[in-house]
Amino acid sequence: MELFDKVKALTEIQATSGFEGPVRDYLKARMVELGYQPEFDGLGGIFVTKASKVENAPRIMIAAHMDEVGFMVSSIKADGTFRVVPLGGWNPLVVSGQRFTLFTRTGKKIPVVTGGLPPHLLRGTGVTPQIPAISDIIFDGAFENAAEAAEFGIAQGDLIIPETETILSANGKNIISKAWDNRYGCLMILELLEFLADKELPVTLIIGANVQEEVGLRGAKVSTTKFNPDLFFAVDCSPASDTFGDDNGRLGEGTTLRFFDPGHIMLPGMKNFLLDTADHAKVKTQVYMAKGGTDAGAAHLANGGVPSTTIGVVARYIHSHQTIFNLDDFLQAQTFLRAIITSLNTEKVAEIKNY
């Protein structure tokens, strides 16, 4: 399969926090195809262990997250429209005028749009449009009334997830889709598993994907407890700022080195290891001073402390229906992760753990 087709397959899957099943099923099928036996944590995180033959081999965890930002139906109005609570961080300005899929409890898929107020209805009212609260935005499945919505099986607690077709940009270098945060990571771990299929390594690898990252790094807490790694590498996608007049996180400038995010500081041992490995493997990197966190923030505080980092890329307009990202950035991150994993051994891990 071509890289674009793999990206398209993963980014068009709809799965939000606490409802990761569709991505988990996809990952599981690919893992089994590649000859791995997936295991699950109690909240639905999926991981395979590639055990080393070396005695007391260090345990290295590499984790994506499966969830994308979405919504949950909080109420059904008499007119048959819905109101929601957000699952993950949403800018209210990108929610209106979009298409979504509502998933009922029994798995039925219902098309839904968010209603935006037409200019006609503002004319002459003297009202200036305000930034709406998420709780006020109208989600509309075009039902006659609440009773008809109920007949279609719709109820409070149903999930609503963006619907977007993934396409290639005109210059062929970039992709436009939803959910590159974090199907990027899901593709990275599948590609890594394929790359490692016939390799014997001096470290034991735990490779997979967490649940519920978008609602507060919850899945990473339980998976790191279960799998007890010595080092943790998140693979995740962060916002690019380049079109907003900021050089921090530019498309096409390579994989990110996150020395700092609000919930994680890279330790000196890890920093030296990453800089040396990137240099050696000739990987294009950019320093990224993050304003948000990743699962590395939760993992490094687990089990008495686990040195962690994120092997990342940036994408424009994340947490919306239309995200733009660069194919070469993905390839740089992939080269970097392969170089990292294949250069680890007991001595190297001890060096990295040296704070």
- Of 10-18, 174-182, 255-263, 281-289, which segment contacts Zn ion by CB under 5 A? 174-182
Counting contacts by CB under 5 A, is residue 329 touching Zn ion? no
Query: Which residue has its beta carbon closest to Zn ion?
Result: 181
Instruction: Output Rg (C-alpha) for the chain, integer angstroms.
Output: 21
Residues 16-35 that bind Zn ion (CB under 5 A): none
Q: Cβ closer to Zn ion: 100 or 180?
A: 180
Closer to Zn ion by Cβ: residue 88 or 208: 88
Kindly give the pairing relationship between strand 99-103 and strand 159-162: antiparallel
Identify which of residues 58 and 88 has a Cβ nearer to Zn ion in the complex: 88
Q: Which is nearer to Zn ion, 20 or 181 (CB)?
A: 181
Least Å from the CB of residue 67 to Zn ion? 8
Residue 213 annotated to the active site:
yes
Q: Which one from 213, 253, 347, 351 is the annotated catalytic residue?
A: 213
Q: Which two tokens stand for residue 218?
A: 């919850």
Which residue, 213 or 230, has its beta carbon nearer to Zn ion? 213
- 129 Cβ neighbours under 8 A, 6+ residues apart: 117, 122
253 binds Zn ion (CB under 5 A): no
Q: Binder to Zn ion among 158, 181, 253, 261 (CB under 5 A)?
A: 181
- d(CA 286, CA 54) in angstroms, rounded, equals 34
**68 is an interface residue for Zn ion by CB under 5 A:** no
Question: Does 158 participate in binding Zn ion (rule CB under 5 A)?
Answer: no
CB of 294 to Zn ion, least distance (A): 8
- Nearest to Zn ion of 181, 261 (CB atom): 181
**Minimal distance in Å, beta carbon 330 to Zn ion?**
17
The residue count for binding Zn ion (CB under 5 A) is 1
Q: Which of the stretches 164-172, 180-188, 221-229, 277-285 binds Zn ion when contact is defined by CB under 5 A? A: 180-188
Report the binding-site residues for Zn(2+).
65, 181, 214, 236, 319
**Residue with smaller CB distance to Zn ion, 122 or 289:** 289
SS3 track for the chain: CCHHHHHHHHHHCCCECCECHHHHHHHHHHHHHCCCCCEECCCCCEEEEECCCCCCCCEEEEEEECCECEEEEEEECCCCCEEEEEECCCCHHHCCCCEEEEECCCCCEEEEEEECCCHHHHCCCCCCCCCCCHHHCEEECCCCCHHHHHHCCCCCCCEEEECCCCEECCCCCEEEECCHHHHHHHHHHHHHHHHHCCCCCCCEEEEEEECCCCCCCHHHHHHHHHHCCCEEEEEEEEECCHHHCCCCCCCCCCEEEEEEECCEECCHHHHHHHHHHHHHCCCCEEEEECCCCCHHHHHCCCCCCCCEEEEEEEEECCCCCCEEEEHHHHHHHHHHHHHHHHCCCHHHHHHHCCC
Judged by CB under 5 A, which stretch of 25-33, 34-42, 102-110, 177-185 contacts Zn ion? Answer: 177-185
Residue range at the interface with Zn ion (CB under 5 A); choices 74-82, 118-126, 152-160, 181-189: 181-189
The least CB distance from residue 120 to Zn ion, in Å, is 36
**CA-CA-CA-CA torsion sign (33, 10, 139, 85):** positive
Please report, as residue ranges, which positions from 94 to 133 form the binding site for Zn ion (by CB under 5 A). none
For residue 196, the minimal CB distance to Zn ion (Å) is 26
Do residues 96 and 137 make contact, with C-beta atoms less than 8 angstroms apart? Answer: yes
Residues that constitute the known binding site? 65, 181, 214, 236, 319
**Least Å from the CB of residue 214 to Zn ion:** 5
Sole window of 178-186, 194-202, 224-232, 273-281 interacting with Zn ion (rule: CB under 5 A): 178-186
**Residue 234 C-beta: closest distance to Zn ion, Å:** 11
Angle at 42 between CA 38 and CA 46, to 5 degrees: 25
- Residues designated as active site: 213
Tell me which residues touch Zn ion (CB under 5 A).
Answer: 181
